[in-house]
Chains A and B, each alone.
Chain A
Amino acid sequence: MSGVMCCRSILFSVFLLLSLLPCRTLADTAGEEGGSSRLDAISDFWNEHFSSTGWIELVQSMRTYAPHDEVTSRVHGRLEVSGTAGTFNGFLSLDAEKNWTIPALDGLSVREAWLEHVGSGWDIRVGRQLIIWGKADGVRITDNVCPTDFSDYLNRNIDEMRIPVTAAKLRFLSNTLITEFIWIPEFKSAKLATGNNPWALERSFSSALPVRTNSAGEPSSWSLEDSEFALRVSSYMAGFDVSLSAFYTWDDTAASSVSVRDISGGRREIVMEQDYHRILIYGFDFAKPWSDFVFRGEAAYFQGRYLSTSTGGNEKHDVLKYLVGVDWSPGGNWSVTAQLLDEFIMNYDRGLVAEEHSPQATLNVSKNFFNEQLTVSDMVYVSLNDGEFFNRLQAAYELADGMELTIGWDKFYGDDGSYGVYRRNSQIWGKLRFSF
């Protein structure tokens, strides 16, 4: 972690802060420069109808393997503005990022922008939004509405790995039931890490033949035929939460098939075809508190998923993903979360790349010290088929209200499985976050 890196991160974060703060401080400034009734009026209007918040974080890491360079080096800021007028609510979330290890993430972007109307016993939210389902912690079972962004993979919290969707969400609310209809007219695919990205997985071909990729193209946006639809019914009762869902969607990741073809002049080439396919996902989740525990569970049945075969093609199978978990609050500022999950391929064929069962376990243990000023936690994901794991040990210290310093150690263990493949991305890191 060189001094130059730190300096440039700090300078850039100051620049970001200066860019984002004016919106936040508009009202205060208007008040301070007072004397002007117009400014006071703007200030009053802002305070009555709007609120804003945001954060800026600097992250710098050092690989624990030679050449001990950085896996992560970024400054990331977010500004969120909420507005309310009568029965209408609005929300705008803006992102700004400078990333020195993954330049593709540089730039300004609108993360969320939606408008909500609240009726009597119903509400509707329209626009770019995050829709998150399920009860699992750090893994996604029924939570499939928003595609995944793998660009910076495990460097981000799972909350930051979801790609917001353009959707209309209509909810009918009663004392015991929430019925939710979702229409997503614009298709978004998962984002994969590519090129020089440290999280990119190279697909190697043993042949010296040239490789050509044929993408069938994404489903069309704003057509009813290619739209995605979801229905979810949830109930939050005394002592028990439960949800049932159905999601008619596109698999966010294209299915690939590889073949060798003849081209002109007697030469041959490898052709990789990529197609997006429709799937139907049925979901179920529950949470049940008991004493110091909360028991949680989720299951998702994927109907018609295309899975890769070892010969380069793909096959259509149904897949069941399920999870059971428990949160334990034993007191003394301890908190423990344990989960077991599995991905089970129906009508399994030995020619598939994936195994019939892919069981995993997760464990998160944390403890607060000094009236929650310091939090030390350890989180581990273990792949039970091959014993590979990812472990994150971290300590977060609140320097002052809204300012937190976190240091951590990420360790990937294994060979070429789900976690071992990233073993050279094991790193120590530091994060300074300023919330405003």
Chain B
Amino acid sequence: MSCSIRGMLAVLALMFIITPSLARAEELTGTDVITKMRLRPDGDDRKGTVSMTLVNRRGAKRVRVMEQIAKDYGMDRKAIIVFKEPADVRGTKFLSWTYDAPGRDDDKWLYIPSMKKVRRISGSANNDFFMGSDFTYDDIDMGRRNVSKDTHTYLGEDMRGVYECWKVESIPVDKDDPVRRRVLWVDKKTCIPVYLEYYTDQGLSRVYEVLELQQQQGFWNVKSARMRNLETEHQTLMEFSPFVYDIGVDDNLFQVAVLQRG
């Protein structure tokens, strides 16, 4: 069953990748662009190291390093993040089962080595900031937000640095979402969002920009990106090591029991 769903998704993805050259830009809708972004190929599973450098307004830096392994189950995803640095959080493990279905809360568990215990944490707090960074839990899987969570409007084509982009405005359906609208620049070639503006009631609050893309095993992904919080003048630089794709990650890795192992 999952194979057939995956097959259908692959065909859909292929259609969306092929169609840009056939379709005229004016026929595109915002939903089309966001769907292309959502379905861009990135393997069935992937593993790599992510480094976050947190920089405050005075320029003081703090560094968080983590190893991430993720596997897709149709449009859902299971992931485990193991924190490597700083030393006081080393060995902390975060397991998440994220669901694409709107309204369904994710399942999340945290293993803290000093407590030697797995703790269930709320699955709905996706607007909370991750590890003191300027990325929210929702931002961590950039570009994987469910398409139906927002109303999308196509704003045309625009150059953003070296990237030729589609520009889209996305307004959350959920009126309680603290982000009132997002404006995205999606690279036409890779379908990766390379620039993103977040607006709250106070106006433009955060800006995300890709600094460099990389290609591995035929898959494009982000090599480095930056999120600037304009309200706090704090920023986070995120750097991705080369990711390894389709390594056949064992399903059992994403079980709570594994978090407690040595």
Q: Which residues of A contact B (CB under 8 A)?
A: 53-55, 82, 84, 89-91, 114, 116, 118, 123, 125, 130-132, 134-135, 157, 159, 171, 173, 175, 178, 236, 238-239, 241, 287, 289-294, 296, 327, 329, 331, 333, 368, 370-373, 398, 400-402, 404, 433, 435-436
Contacts and interface: CB of A to CB of B under 8 A. Distances in A.
Contacts of A401: 62-63, 85-87
Contact of A132 (B91, B97, B117, B121): B117
B257 interface: yes
A372 B131 contact: yes
B256 interface: yes
Pairs of residues from A and B, 6 with the lowest C-beta to C-beta distance, nearest first: A372-B132, A89-B262, A435-B87, A435-B88, A236-B256, A401-B86
Interface stretch (B7-15, B22-30, B107-115, B158-166): B107-115
B219 interface: no
Contacts of A132: 115-117
A293 B131 CA distance: 20
Contacts of A436: 87
B110 to A, nearest CB: 11
Nearest to A241: B120
A131 B262 CA distance: 13
Given A371-B134, A436-B87, A82 B262 contact: yes
25 contacts: A55-B87, A82-B262, A118-B261, A123-B261, A125-B262, A131-B116, A173-B252, A173-B257, A175-B251, A175-B252, A239-B105, A289-B108, A291-B105, A291-B122, A296-B120, A329-B122, A331-B127, A370-B232, A372-B129, A373-B56, A373-B62, A400-B62, A401-B63, A435-B86, A435-B88
Contacts of B256: 178, 236, 241
A291 B124 contact: yes
B175 to A, nearest CB: 15
B234 interface: yes
Given A236-B118, A289-B122, 19 more contacts: A53-B87, A54-B87, A55-B87, A118-B261, A130-B116, A134-B117, A135-B119, A178-B257, A238-B107, A289-B105, A289-B120, A294-B120, A294-B122, A296-B120, A327-B122, A370-B56, A371-B232, A401-B87, A435-B86
Nearest to A157: B114
Contact of B115 (A55, A159, A433): A159
Contacts of B87: 53-55, 401-402, 435-436
Interface residues of B, number: 44
A238 B97 contact: yes
Contact of A294 (B90, B116, B121): B121
Interface of B: 54, 56, 62-63, 85-88, 90-91, 97, 105, 107-109, 114-125, 127-129, 131-134, 178, 232, 234, 251-252, 255-257, 261-262
A148 to B, nearest CB: 15
A134 B120 CA distance: 11
Nearest to A115: B262
A367 to B, nearest CB: 12
B225 to A, nearest CB: 17
Contacts of B116: 130-132, 159
Contacts of A327: 121-122
Contact of A236 (B54, B62, B109): B109
Among B62, B122, B125, max chain A CB count under 10 A is at B122
A404 B105 CA distance: 34
A305 to B, nearest CB: 25
B56 A371 contact: yes
A115 to B, nearest CB: 9
Contacts of B128: 329, 331, 333
Contact of A116 (B85, B132, B255, B262): B262
A289 B132 contact: no
Among A134, A239, A290, max chain B CB count under 10 A is at A239
A284 to B, nearest CB: 16
Contacts of A239: 105, 107
A89 B107 contact: no
A7 B109 CA distance: 42
Nearest to A131: B116
A238 B97 CA distance: 8
B135 to A, nearest CB: 11
B88 A371 contact: no
A262 to B, nearest CB: 51
A89 B125 CA distance: 34
B88 to A, nearest CB: 4
A368 B97 CA distance: 26
B97 A402 contact: no
Nearest to A293: B122
Contacts of B255: 173, 175, 236
A265 B251 CA distance: 78
A379 B155 CA distance: 50
Nearest to A54: B87
A241 B255 CA distance: 12
Given A401-B62, A435-B87, A84 B262 contact: yes
Contacts of A293: 122
Nearest to B254: A175
Contacts of A171: 257
Contacts of B178: 331
A402 B88 contact: yes
B226 to A, nearest CB: 15
Contacts of B125: 292, 329, 331
A371 B234 contact: yes
Given A132-B116, A333-B129, A90 B262 contact: yes
B88 A289 contact: no
B111 to A, nearest CB: 11
Contacts of A372: 129, 131-132
